[in-house]
Amino acid sequence: MKRTPILLADGRELIYFDERDDADRSMPDRRELPEPPPASELRYDPVLDEWVAVAAHRQNRTFLPPSDQCPLCPSTPERATEIPAYDYDVVVFENRFPSFSHRIGDGTGHQLAEGLVPVVPGRGRCELVCFTADHDSSFAKLTPERVRTVVEAWADRTTELSALPGIAQVFCFENRGEEIGVTLHHPHGQIYGYPYVTPQTATSLDSARRYRHRTGGRGLFADLLAAERADGSRVVACNEYWTAFVPAAARWPFEVHLYPHRQLPDIPALSDAERDAFGPIYLDVLGRFDALFDLPMPYVSAWHQAPVHADRHLAYLHLQLFSIRRAPGKLKYLAGSESAMGAFVNDIRPERAAQMLRESR
């Protein structure tokens, strides 16, 4: 794999990940662009003990443009896009409308407010990952070889972002489908470098810590995987290195977790064999999602990685894939109980969901 970093016209970084060593990436960005926006604000919620980012500049981000105006397609002689090259394999670049950024403006170079609700700069990093130059494709249509290239890009960016000052956690994810809220149809994902450990991760690691203490040193995630593999009723697919299963307490109508068989903190820790084996099983599961109702399934695909500096021995790398579609023409909305109380109610038994996914191919 060939890795080529360049700078876009406004100073943002872009990196080509090529499957050919002879790829020419000398094409410059021909656009005239304004400077990137400064970092957002982070406001602390003392009631829930959580940080909330306020990124008002994202109101102006590109929203569902026509295919001939897609900013993630390769450039052409007639039109320059976010990717200067006329073709590419996998590309990662800094988000033009980031939720977090290292660009601290004049008004946010210091702590903005103290007291009950502190306000500080939203220092961090947000990147886009384009999986293919084909606008009409999807992750499920990638080859296993291309998925391997994407895994290499995820590993590279996890390592690089983890080394940046102030980054506490790196999150690689994909949102797919207008029902999920995507604003660009081109097959792509995102990578966030958070300046704090996210609430979901903090809660799960607290659970793992208590379990370890209660059981004399056992690992919560490893025991969970072993129990699912032994039971088998919720296993959707497996190979020598990975197991995909519907969790017994799934919150979403169709939710699958993919675990490597070794406890690892993050994507860079995966071996070559584990990276090779990931693509085929993940593509199989994505294909089952799309075949379930014979139409493209909206989903969120989220890598759970260890924090950069804390509790790495407790974490267990895994991928969470879930959809809000519960039936053709019916979506699972986060209404009163979920949105206000954080108390999920699932309409489909996890065992039934696993059976439907096993039978969908």
> Residues forming the annotated binding site for Zn(2+)?
70, 73, 135, 186
Q: Which residues are annotated as a binding site?
A: 70, 73, 135, 186
The answer to whether the beta carbons of residues 244 and 237 sit under 8 Å apart is yes
- 53 beta partners: 42
For 255, counting Cβ atoms within 10 Å of its Cβ (0-12 exposed, 13-18 middle, 19+ buried), the class is: buried
Check if 188 is active-site.
yes
Cβ contact 8:81 at 8 Å: no
Residue 352, CB half-sphere, CA atoms under 13 Å: how many?
A: 7
Q: Which residues pair with 320 in a beta bridge?
A: 257, 302
Choosing from 188, 257, 304, 318, the catalytic residue is: 188
CB atoms within 10 A of CB 134: 13
Rounded to whole angstroms, how far apart are CA atoms 30 and 221? 49
CA–CA separation, 307 and 198 (whole Å): 9
Residue 140, CA atoms < 13 Å, CB-side half-sphere: 16
300: Cα separation from own chain's centroid: 8
Residues annotated as catalytic (active site), given as ranges? 188
